[in-house]
Amino acid sequence: MKRDMREIFLPEIRTALENLDARPFAPVQIFRSLHRRCAHDFATMSDLPGALRKKLAADFTIATVTLASRQRSKDGTVKLLLKLHDGLKIETVFLTEGRRRTQCVSTQVGCALGCTFCATAALGFERNLTAGEIVAQVEDSQSREGRAANLVFMGMGEPFLNYENVLRAIRILNHKDGANIGARRMTVSTAGLPEGIRRFAREKLQVRLALSLNATTDKQRSRLMPVNRKHPLAEVLDALRHYVDTTGRRATIEYVLIPGENDSDGDLRRLTKIARSVKVNVNLIEMNPGARKAVYPVGGGQAPRWKRALLEAGVEAVIRFRRGTDIHAGCGQLALRVKNG
């Protein structure tokens, strides 16, 4: 089987070209063609000798994604439905707030974790994305939509269940001869896999970590997030403390406020205690319409009060305002749907 050139590190390209009589600068030319110019065909790499392009085409392939649909929200959010080589589809979202532009990236086709408030969970799990497909999702989309300097791996799937491919993609996207997206401008979000959190702490990267918490007791979290039955709160929070202590960086807790489910004063007190003990920031997210509306109601406007209480307690807290909900592009809404579809 041919290897995907789009997921190969620059040193690996050098090794691959050792027996192909290539010029010393050819590996960098190939890498830049793939990751700066989004070349989809070796034949278009006109700065390479024709004989080398033919050899590369015989031995390697290049991952691409095909645009299946594009939707633009009334608030400017853009959602792309992308088709993979095997016909499966994923979604990626571009969010603009002032001068800040962010791309929300998927790491799996569907998701296996079954969080009850997330529409992606209803799809089930199909497969992991390859590193090349993750890179293609970012680079091909940005070649169409324009540069997004910030990446959040918060789209479809659980990144730490596809650890190797996600980390390989991050390193490629971060490379100075490629997309050159700053590590500190990337965030990986997990539903709470302790082994992945601890492993991530050992990576020599400045990439940020976010934990999707959404509950403050095991009974409550196990109902909302079945992964908690295997990895209860104490285990997850211990791993998060290890990450903070090992890296010296603050992590972020993401908390979706679901009316009548996890937004009581007791929940607020427990979240405050957790945030202070682990030394994290808190992102408050109101439950979006249509995420799993048959199960949970839309957020009831508790976020501002919670933010004030957290700030008064010395916890850095922000509200992630709803974006793109009219095109099902908001948090918890990604489910391969088009508007009115």
User: What gap in Å lies between CA 29 and CA 48, rounded to an integer?
Assistant: 8
Alpha-carbon distance values, 184 to 102, 204, 234 (Å): 13, 12, 28
91 is catalytic: yes
- Classify residue 149 by its DSSP letter: -
Q: Which residues contact 241 (CB under 8 A, 6 or more apart)?
A: 277, 278
Among residues 204, 188, 185, the alpha carbon closest in space to that of 196 is found at 188
Using an 8 Å Cβ cutoff, are 143 and 40 in contact?
no
User: What gap in Å lies between CA 116 and CA 296, rounded to an integer?
Assistant: 9
Taking residue 229's Cβ as centre, other Cβ atoms within 10 Å add up to: 11
User: What gap in Å lies between CA 330 and CA 340, rounded to an integer?
Assistant: 16
Q: Name the active-site residue from 7, 91, 126, 261.
A: 91
User: What gap in Å lies between CA 149 and CA 209, rounded to an integer?
Assistant: 17
Going 10 to 15 to 17 to 23, the CA torsion angle's sign is positive
Residues 180, 182, 183: CA angle, nearest 5 degrees = 125
Among residues 318, 324, 291, the alpha carbon closest in space to that of 93 is found at 324
Among residues 90, 106, 100, 208, the alpha carbon closest in space to that of 150 is found at 100
Taking residue 234's Cβ as centre, other Cβ atoms within 10 Å add up to: 9
Q: Name the active-site residue from 38, 104, 115, 331.
A: 331
195 is catalytic: no
Q: Which residues are catalytic?
A: 91, 331
